[in-house]
A and B are shown apart, each in its own frame.
Chain A
Amino acid sequence: MTAVTGTELLRLEGAAVRFGARTALDAVDLTVAAHEIVCVLGPSGSGKSTLLRAVAGLQPLDAGRVLLDGADQAGVPAHRRGVGLMFQDHQLFPQRDVGGNVAFGLRMHKVPRDRREPAVAALLDLVGLPGAQRRAVAELSGGEQQRVALARALAPEPRLVMLDEPLGQLDRSLRDRLVVELRRLFGQLGTTVLAVTHDQAEAFALADRVVVMREGRIAQSGPPLDVWQRPASEFVARFLGFDNITEATVAAGHAVTAWGSLPVPDGTPEGPCHILVRPAGVLLRPPGDGLPCEVTGRTFRGGRVALLLHPDRGPALEAECALRDAPAEGARVTVAFAAEDVVVLPGEPAGSAEPDAMEAPTAGR
């Protein structure tokens, strides 16, 4: 959302890649503007990495085009595309030290030695590893390797930097810290970034724009807040972690669901649909007034508590409340629904609406 200049750097038109019977990329159209940070989000196997490899020239397209700065890249080999790719497990050259890794792209681009050395030093400063040139890559911690890989990808000043699960192998707290650092760094350098991740928190923290992928197709694209607030489909909603979803029929400003009648925002089209109630919109009420439920589980998240509720009718519900208001496990409560947190999901063909259990992002697994 920041710094989108409108100059189009990358464009994919109907890009398709098939592995045997499986379609990894299915007619993908995507543009990335100069200086934009785009994050592709999706479960494993949704085609994210294939997308990056196709742009890098490591994976030939079965159909469609990749254009960089308006030029069709068909037939241009990887080493002449001028894009950088940071691999998910870094792929540092084990036989070279840190300096040798960072300088590699500069050597390939015939940068003379006297200009390489200061450039390497500056990059290592930038990623927070000053003076690490002579260290062996095998001695580095995961976070340090990640920084070296980033410096290496940035060194030849590629017009587009692509990151494949950039923080994938790091622990939670390090990720949270690095993602902020990364965003600041890219902002500073004005780099155009196309990153892929399966972690929505990472994507939302890093990106100007989020692209959600599913089975090789783009399920939704937009600024992080938009996507978060208005998932375009049940798939996106579930992928973002929303589980309060049920079938509904909208009529006269209300939705009839298994949970009872729910208020819906004005202007909602009538007819059958799926609706999502964000946990914040599931309000705890004194008994008697609304849908009776039993509290079956509690998860503590900072100052708030997520409650797993088992309603007397309809599927399980997730609710959110303040720590001090949290009822005990096994308690009986009654819930009501807030209209502003009820989201109507556009209809989808039946039977393909949910990621299965293996595919949903399950942090901590």
Chain B
Amino acid sequence: MTGSGPHLRAGSEPHLPAGSGPDPTTGATAEAAGGSVRAQVPVRRPSGTARAAALRLALMALPVAFFAAFFAYPVAAIVGRGLREGGHWHLGRIGDVLGDPGIRHVLWFTCWQAAASTALTLAVALPGAYVFARLDFPGKRLLRAVVTVPFVLPTVVAGSAFLALLGQNGLTDDLFGLRLGTSVWAILAAHVFFNYAVVVRTVGGLWAQLDPRQEEAARMLGAGRLEAWRRVTLPALGPSVAAAALMVFLFTFTSFGVVQILGGPTYSTLEVEIYRQTAELLDLPTAAVLTLVQLAAVGAILAVHGWTVRRGEASLRLVDGATTAHRPRGGERALLAAVLAVIALLILLPLGVLAARSLDAPGGYGFGYYRALGAQDSSGTFLVPPLETIWNSLRYAAVATVIALAIGGLAAAALVRRAGRLMRGFDALLMLPLGTSAVTVGFGFLITLDKPPLDLRDSWLLVPLAQALVGVPFVVRVMLPVLRAVDHRLREAAAVLGASPARVWREVDLPFVGRALGIAAGFAFAVSLGEFGATVFIARPDSPTLPVAVARLLGRAGGVNYGQAMALSTILMLVCAASLLVLEAPALRRGTHRGADLTGEL
């Protein structure tokens, strides 16, 4: 009918723009896009317009200021204190420290245990990711919250619970004569325990949303079940597996409590060494070099992570995660049973041991230790009864959550439109606190936040600020993919119908991100609740948080103290699980469509 005849002088018209291809510089070329999944290919507005750039800068201002003041400045100051003497930088120290065979041994151990832990975690947790993504079974939601509890528990608590499982006379010893306490194996197993949820949530989140019909199409073309999975699903999951692996690597690379408690004195990671050099030996030059090494390593991990995440954002065909799960059939029942058994052994059992010990009062099983928590402490461990520490913790965590949501939300909003290298750097900067020693941050606070207008050293605010530093990355990770999934033209549609920018946010974005916001808040809250490292180094007016109280109780002789520590730990565990469960509840689920579940980046 129209001019596509062979005599058209194709090639004589080189400069008519190709209209149907996505042009990285423009947003207005999607006219012929047809039925592609819009949510995954948000139309970008031209990045050059001054107003958009100004808005992004304004959104970034607060997060950047926050990180500059409460992270970059303190860490730089403490590193500078170590490497600068008499106005000169002593960079020769770097060579000296790195040449020390002891330090080299630490570096080597740090790397290989992280690699081994990551491999083991993936092996154990990937089947779990499948089960949580694709199978329906009673209690799934509760179990999903429960497996996340270890991730947010302070290691003082979880470490000792874990020892009960693998340690001397622990369960594996009783059953199989297997003693893993204070060995590399215990470290690796505990790392799986802590990071199981990272893999299940990151990979499982995406897996649930992969269209199962893609695999079905492959099978119609003659691929076997496994073949179809390997050829279709695995490549789609690849980037998210890589992202999860890098997160696990990051967390295990910077592992502190687990290595200290379970590794015994012969094993030391970079993080432990930084702690020792700073808090015990006050060898700031060595600590500074190690901090720089760790920052460089973490920066590299984050760069690779960012790269894999961006690669993974390539348009996948995604569907509502709620629709892809099905009742287990055939071999899947065995898989489900196996995964449940692993969870029971690896996660429920240690947590259960904790709870059991808290109930094992001298007068027989009961709530004796819990009652002791409420009473004014006869042995005087606290100036406030331990129960009051729960209230303290909740308040600190609430403030930390508000800060983390504000900073993380603004940062996520600024990062919604993928942009240049600068923004990516900002993205990575937000993640750095996850890989920085708490003692570095805590000591950095001390020597920097001592002058007006930031004279915060003695302020209660330091605790939630330090906690928020750890919470922000989670808020950003959870919010970003959801915000990115909101089709920008939906916002435009609302604007054309008369909605102001604030109203657009409320009417279009909020319904989409509401649930993600809840999940982000839940994570930030639980992480703040369990945050121990920085909190314990921040000398503060006497309002011990729950983990600090547990640590104090554990540090004292006597059955009552120990029992109370177990009782408090159990309460902490329950509060963490409850806050995850409540905030993840699909209350805002009604009709929120796809996007509401896109929280897989972690």
Task: List chain A residues, Cβ under 8 A from B102.
Answer: none
Whether the Cβ atoms of A104 and B494 lie closer than 8 Å is yes
With known contacts A316-B7, A361-B2, A94–B489 Cβ distance under 8 A: no
Whether the Cβ atoms of B1 and A363 lie closer than 8 Å is yes
With known contacts A354-B9, A356-B10, A360-B2, A60–B51 Cβ distance under 8 A: yes
B175 within 8 A of A: no
B508 within 8 A of A: yes
A108 within 8 A of B: yes
Whether the Cβ atoms of A243 and B31 lie closer than 8 Å is no
Number of contacts between A and B (CB, 8 Å)? 178
CB closest residue in chain A, given B11: A356
Whether the Cβ atoms of B2 and A19 lie closer than 8 Å is no
Alpha-carbon gap, A135 to B512, bound state (A): 20
Task: List chain A residues, Cβ under 8 A from B19.
Answer: 43-46, 358-359
Return the contact of B498 from the options A108, A198, A357 (Cβ within 8 A).
Answer: A108
With known contacts A43-B19, A84-B497, A105-B497, A363–B46 Cβ distance under 8 A: no
Whether the Cβ atoms of B495 and A45 lie closer than 8 Å is no
Whether the Cβ atoms of A351 and B503 lie closer than 8 Å is no
Contact with B along A133-151 (1 / 0, CB 8 A): 0001010000000000000
Whether the Cβ atoms of B498 and A156 lie closer than 8 Å is yes
Whether the Cβ atoms of A91 and B26 lie closer than 8 Å is no
Whether the Cβ atoms of B591 and A241 lie closer than 8 Å is no
Alpha-carbon gap, A247 to B508, bound state (A): 55
Task: List chain B residues, Cβ under 8 A from A87.
Answer: 489, 492-493
Contact with A along B478-505 (1 / 0, CB 8 A): 0000000001011011111111110110
With known contacts A20-B26, A351-B12, A362-B4, A104–B492 Cβ distance under 8 A: no
Whether the Cβ atoms of B591 and A243 lie closer than 8 Å is no
Task: List chain A residues, Cβ under 8 A from B5.
Answer: 243, 308, 316
A341 within 8 A of B: no
Whether the Cβ atoms of B512 and A108 lie closer than 8 Å is no
B277 within 8 A of A: no
B40 within 8 A of A: no
- With a 10 A CB-CB cut-off, give which of A83, A357, A364 has the most chain B CB atoms: A357
Contact with B along A6-32 (1 / 0, CB 8 A): 000000000000011110100000000
Task: List chain A residues, Cβ under 8 A from B13.
Answer: 351-352, 354-356, 359
CB closest residue in chain B, given A198: B31
Contact with B along A296-317 (1 / 0, CB 8 A): 0001000000101000000110
Shortest CB distance A111–B (Å): 10
Whether the Cβ atoms of A359 and B593 lie closer than 8 Å is no
Whether the Cβ atoms of A78 and B495 lie closer than 8 Å is yes
Whether the Cβ atoms of B28 and A50 lie closer than 8 Å is yes
Stretch at the interface among A51-59, A186-194, A325-333: A51-59
Contact with B along A82-98 (1 / 0, CB 8 A): 01110111010111100
Alpha-carbon gap, A223 to B34, bound state (A): 30
Contact with A along B507-546 (1 / 0, CB 8 A): 1100110000000000000000000000000000000000
Alpha-carbon gap, A357 to B10, bound state (A): 6
Considering only residues 14-57 of chain B, those with a C-beta below 8 Å from chain A are 16-20, 23, 25-29, 31-35, 38, 46, 48-49, 51
Task: List chain A residues, Cβ under 8 A from B489.
Answer: 87, 91
With known contacts A56-B496, A109-B498, A95–B4 Cβ distance under 8 A: no
A208 within 8 A of B: no
Whether the Cβ atoms of A356 and B16 lie closer than 8 Å is yes
Whether the Cβ atoms of A299 and B1 lie closer than 8 Å is yes
B168 within 8 A of A: no
Task: List chain A residues, Cβ under 8 A from B18.
Answer: 45, 358
Alpha-carbon gap, A165 to B489, bound state (A): 15
Whether the Cβ atoms of A363 and B490 lie closer than 8 Å is no
Return the contact of A45 from the options B16, B35, B38, B593 (Cβ within 8 A).
Answer: B16
Task: List chain B residues, Cβ under 8 A from A351.
Answer: 12-13
Whether the Cβ atoms of A60 and B49 lie closer than 8 Å is yes
A152 within 8 A of B: yes
Alpha-carbon gap, A351 to B512, bound state (A): 50
Whether the Cβ atoms of B499 and A88 lie closer than 8 Å is no
- With a 10 A CB-CB cut-off, give which of A50, A238, A356 has the most chain B CB atoms: A356
Alpha-carbon gap, A59 to B27, bound state (A): 10
Task: List chain A residues, Cβ under 8 A from B33.
Answer: 89
Whether the Cβ atoms of B496 and A24 lie closer than 8 Å is no
- With a 10 A CB-CB cut-off, give which of A57, A60, A91 has the most chain B CB atoms: A91
Whether the Cβ atoms of B498 and A105 lie closer than 8 Å is yes
Contact with A along B533-571 (1 / 0, CB 8 A): 000000000000000000000000000000000000000
CB closest residue in chain B, given A355: B16
Whether the Cβ atoms of A58 and B495 lie closer than 8 Å is yes
Alpha-carbon gap, A108 to B28, bound state (A): 26
Alpha-carbon gap, A104 to B368, bound state (A): 58
CB closest residue in chain A, given B510: A95
Alpha-carbon gap, A105 to B497, bound state (A): 5
Shortest CB distance A25–B (Å): 10
Task: List chain A residues, Cβ under 8 A from B508.
Answer: 93
Alpha-carbon gap, A80 to B500, bound state (A): 8
Alpha-carbon gap, A260 to B489, bound state (A): 54
CB closest residue in chain A, given B492: A58
Alpha-carbon gap, A50 to B28, bound state (A): 6
Shortest CB distance A141–B (Å): 14
Task: List chain A residues, Cβ under 8 A from B29.
Answer: 44-45
Alpha-carbon gap, A359 to B503, bound state (A): 39
Whether the Cβ atoms of B26 and A22 lie closer than 8 Å is yes
Shortest CB distance A194–B (Å): 13
A49 within 8 A of B: yes
Task: List chain A residues, Cβ under 8 A from B497.
Answer: 79, 84, 104-105, 108, 152-153, 155-156
A215 within 8 A of B: yes
Task: List chain B residues, Cβ under 8 A from A269.
Answer: none
Whether the Cβ atoms of B487 and A215 lie closer than 8 Å is no
B8 within 8 A of A: yes
Alpha-carbon gap, A104 to B508, bound state (A): 11
Task: List chain B residues, Cβ under 8 A from A357.
Answer: 3-4, 8, 10
Whether the Cβ atoms of A85 and B32 lie closer than 8 Å is no
Task: List chain B residues, Cβ under 8 A from A356.
Answer: 8, 10-13, 16
Alpha-carbon gap, A223 to B48, bound state (A): 38
Whether the Cβ atoms of A165 and B31 lie closer than 8 Å is yes
Known A84-B496, A358-B16, A358-B19; 14 more pairs at CB < 8 Å: A43-B19, A44-B29, A45-B18, A46-B19, A56-B492, A77-B500, A79-B501, A91-B490, A93-B490, A93-B508, A95-B511, A108-B503, A354-B9, A363-B1
Task: Pull 23 A–B residue pairs with CB atoms less than 8 Å apart, ordered by A.
Answer: A19-B25, A19-B26, A19-B28, A24-B26, A43-B16, A44-B29, A45-B16, A45-B19, A49-B28, A60-B51, A81-B496, A91-B493, A95-B590, A104-B497, A104-B507, A136-B591, A165-B31, A243-B7, A306-B1, A316-B7, A355-B13, A356-B11, A360-B4
- Give 8 closest A-B pairs by Cβ, nearest first: A45-B19, A44-B19, A108-B498, A105-B497, A19-B26, A78-B495, A356-B13, A94-B593
A→B interface (CB under 8 Å): 19-22, 24, 43-46, 48-50, 53, 56-60, 77-81, 83-85, 87-89, 91, 93-96, 104-105, 108-109, 136, 138, 152-153, 155-156, 165, 169, 198, 215, 238-239, 241-243, 299, 306, 308, 315-316, 351-352, 354-364
B→A interface (CB under 8 Å): 1-13, 16-20, 23, 25-29, 31-35, 38, 46, 48-49, 51, 487, 489-490, 492-501, 503-504, 507-508, 511-512, 590-594
